[in-house]
Structure 1
Amino acid sequence: MDTAGATEKARQGGRERSRRVPRRRAGRLGPRTRKAVLIVHIAASGAWLGLDLVLGILVATALLGGDGAALAVAVAAFATWPMVAVGALTLASGVVLGLGSRYGLVRYRWVLVKLVLNVVLVFLVVVALSPQVGALAGEGRAALASGGDLAFDPGMLFPPVVSSTAVAFAIAISVVKPWGRTLRGRTAVEGPAH
């Protein structure tokens, strides 16, 4: 009888342990929060890729003989600030994921590459693309008002090709997770070298 009681206690103790929620490390996101931030991150990067592709299609259409003036105004409607918004949202959600997960921001090379790509692309949209698109939009509005047409500079195809390639690459390395840990990531796991 005594062994039956001990067996029952052991079984109950086992059930109790299996119901316990494993403790998270300080600063880590909980599973639900991590999934919510990950969904935002994926949606924002997908929206960014979509905006880049649409920009490329509009520019290619203008270069192939479409109504350049109307297309210039259409490009200006979404080519800068919506791209900055989704780029910033991608960056912010990526930083939250990095800081709140085992991957960190600088522990793995693929995460670091994504971070650098994101910062560089948002910077280029603000510094390089925005003034160019602003000038193009002004010329497009003037051409529409005068009834004329506008010829696009073939160089306008460069930003959406580079950006969409970089965003697609960032998405791909998120899935594949190539390369290894950075020097800082190895040091954090192994401890400092003496």
Structure 2
Amino acid sequence: MTTLSTAPTTPPQRANRVRWNIPVRLRKSILVTHVVSAGSWIGIDVISIVLVAIGWVRAGDDRTAAYRALADFFVVPLLLSALVAGTLCLITGLLLGLATKWGLVRFWWVAVKLVLNVIACAMMLAFLGPVTELATGAQPLQDIWFVSFLAATALALLSFATVLSVFKPWGRVRK
């Protein structure tokens, strides 16, 4: 009776696979930072929507006072905070994509989340000028619609990204 001994084989490495091996604690720290920054971003959007809604339900001088307070004390700091949270979310998402089995564009849900994050950050950058004009009084207070548009759109994008993170639909980009 002849026995064949086979040498242990390692699976072939894919040429397109980029994986950054990092210690577990560091990966978990990056993941926590990613989740907290995304949650902060969502919270900032909710606060922005509530503040704009409060201004809308006011009438006359009350509306002007609400929008002035909104512009002076909340909009620019909130938008800058959201931009910091969005950038941090993007950076940690990229690091997680490089360090985990999900990859950056290996799965559709990860690629879509990356695109959504870039779109939301670009929207904030695009609206930073008009919001700053609003805060300085250079723009009429009635034109605050873009603040609510920005916050509502970002909230929708971030909510969709959260759903993608939980359900992980659509499978691999390439088989």
Q: TM-score range by the shorter chain?
A: 0.7 to 0.9
Unaligned runs of 5+ in 2: 1-17
For each residue in 1:64-119, what CA deviation from the matched residue of structure 2 results, as whole angstroms up to 9, or x when unmatched?
11422112212334232211111110000000000001000000000000100111
**Number of matched residues?**
152
Conservation of the 8 A alpha-carbon contact between 1:63 and 1:154: no
Q: Deviations over 1:147-185 (max 9, x none)?
A: xxx4453343211111011111111211111111002xx
Whole-Å separation in 1 of the counterparts to 2:152 and 2:42: 10
Distance 1:26 1:104 in 2: 7
Match of 1:80, SS state, is helix
Output one character per residue of 1:9-39: Cα deviation in whole Å (capped at 9) or x when no partner: xxxxxxxxxxxxxxxx962233222111100
Alignment-derived partner of residue 48 in structure 1: 41
Q: Is the 2:104–2:111 contact (alpha carbons within 8 Å) kept by the matching residues of 1?
A: yes
Q: Which runs of 5+ in 1 are unaligned?
A: 1-24, 144-149, 187-194
- What code does the residue aligned with 2:132 have? G
Letter in 2 for 1:105: L
Residue 172 (structure 1) aligned with residue 163 (structure 2): yes
State which structure, 1 or 2, has the greater radius of gyration over its C-alpha atoms: 1
CA contact 2:19–2:100 (8 Å) conserved in 1: no
Work out the percentage of aligned pairs sharing the same amino acid.
32
> Please, what TM-score do these two structures have when normalized by structure 2?
0.79
CA contact (8 A) 1:121 1:163 kept: yes
* Superposed CA RMSD: 2.1
| 1-structure distance, mates of 2:28, 2:154 | 26
Preserved contact between residue 19 and residue 98 of structure 2 (Cα < 8 Å): no
Matched with 1:132 is 130
Q: Do 2:19 and 2:101's aligned partners in 1 also have CA atoms closer than 8 Å?
A: no
Q: What amino acid sits opposite 1:60 in the alignment?
A: A
